[in-house]
């Protein structure tokens, strides 16, 4: 693909908060042009034709819509003769939606991440290292997250990423779906999740390692949605040059996962 011209993006979920943040941030960059915007047209909606036209006009689609819309968009992109790359920031996918995105990745370069923050992706590595160093029989792990009252999925995609990082550090897999039921005593080695929904909280995440005698907490606070928009644009610039496949923000940043 010719990379001499500015990156042409289409914004899916353009009426949402993150869609708006991506548009505002893109407008400050001379190397990015917003070529099209659309929200969530249904497959039977005449707007689908307009969406397909928009896909032909862009290099990369940045999508912060909803799980069903994101999975459908990935399928539509994969059906194009010269498909644009795709950056997906939606969270809360079910198994069938994950499968649809994975199938689309055989024809489309897709970056799918639960969080596009550089700080959060650094936090993932720190959590993985701490979990590997602190034995499960002595240290309990609790993932806490807080978001605005309009967020639908719980725990958040970022919280699940942090839980998976902790599980990987201990050489195991995080069992999903995650239960938020905290009745009864704590099971040794089980990773717990706590969720808060209220007001306009952009995003708070922390991972606490608790032993009988000390507590270690690693945390990240989002102060402005522009940090996620900047990360999504960085992913768009990166994925433009990649072959078809399913990537995440760790790939974009070149972080080792060994």
Contact 3, 241 (CB under 8 A): yes
Q: What percent of the chain has pLDDT over 70?
A: 92
Contact 90, 67 (CB under 8 A): yes
pLDDT, residue 121, reads 87
pLDDT, residue 256, reads 56
The residues carrying an active-site annotation are 147, 151
22-41: average pLDDT:
91
Q: What pLDDT, in 10s, does the model give residues 186-225?
A: 889 899 999 999 999 999 999 999 999 999 999 999 888 8
* Whether the predicted pLDDT of 44 surpasses 60: no
* Whether the predicted pLDDT of 42 surpasses 60: no
Q: What pLDDT, in 10s, does the model give residues 52-76?
A: 788 889 999 999 999 999 999 999 9
Q: What is the pTM of this model?
A: 0.76
pLDDT, residue 209, reads 98
pLDDT, residue 213, reads 97
The CATH code of domain 7-116+225-253 reads 3.40.50.720
| CATH label, 118-221, candidates 1.10.260.40, 1.20.810.10, 3.40.50.300, 3.30.360.10 | 3.30.360.10
Q: Cα separations (Å) of 49 from 36, 42, 43, 52, 160?
A: 13, 10, 9, 5, 35
Q: What percent of the chain has pLDDT over 90?
A: 69
**pLDDT averaged over every residue in the chain:** 90
Query: E strands, 27-118, where?
Result: 32-38, 60-63, 85-88, 109-112
pLDDT, residue 2, reads 47
pLDDT, residue 7, reads 96
User: What are the extents of the domains in the chain?
Assistant: 7-116+225-253, 118-221
Q: What pLDDT, in 10s, does the model give residues 81-117?
A: 999 999 999 988 999 999 999 999 999 999 999 889 8
Q: What is the largest CA-CA distance in the chain?
A: 62
């Amino acid at each position: 693909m010719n990379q001499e011209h500015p990156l042409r993006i289409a914004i899916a979920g353009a009426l949402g908060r993150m869609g708006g943040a991506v548009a505002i941030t893109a407008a400050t960059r001379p190397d990015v042009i917003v070529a099209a915007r659309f929200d969530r047209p249904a497959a039977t909606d005449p707007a689908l034709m307009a969406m397909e036209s928009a896909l032909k006009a862009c290099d990369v689609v940045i999508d912060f819509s909803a799980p069903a819309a994101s999975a459908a968009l990935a399928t539509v992109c994969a059906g194009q003769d010269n498909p644009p790359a795709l950056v997906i920031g939606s969270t809360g996918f079910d198994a069938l939606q994950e499968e649809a995105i994975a199938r689309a990745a055989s024809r489309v370069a897709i970056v799918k991440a639960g969080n596009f923050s550089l700080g959060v992706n650094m936090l993932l590595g720190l959590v993985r290292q701490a979990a590997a160093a602190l034995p499960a029989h002595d240290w309990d792990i609790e993932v806490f997250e807080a978001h605005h009252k309009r967020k639908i999925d719980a725990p958040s995609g970022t919280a699940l990423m942090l839980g998976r990082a902790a599980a990987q550090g201990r050489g195991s897999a995080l069992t999903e779906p995650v239960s938020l039921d905290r009745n009864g005593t704590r099971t040794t080695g089980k990773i717990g999740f706590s969720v808060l929904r209220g007001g306009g909280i952009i995003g708070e995440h922390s991972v606490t390692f608790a032993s009988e005698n000390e507590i270690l907490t690693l945390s990240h606070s989002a102060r402005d949605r522009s940090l996620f928009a900047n990360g999504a644009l960085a992913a768009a610039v990166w994925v433009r040059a990649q072959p078809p496949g399913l990537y995440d923000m760790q790939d974009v940043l070149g972080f080792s996962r060994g």
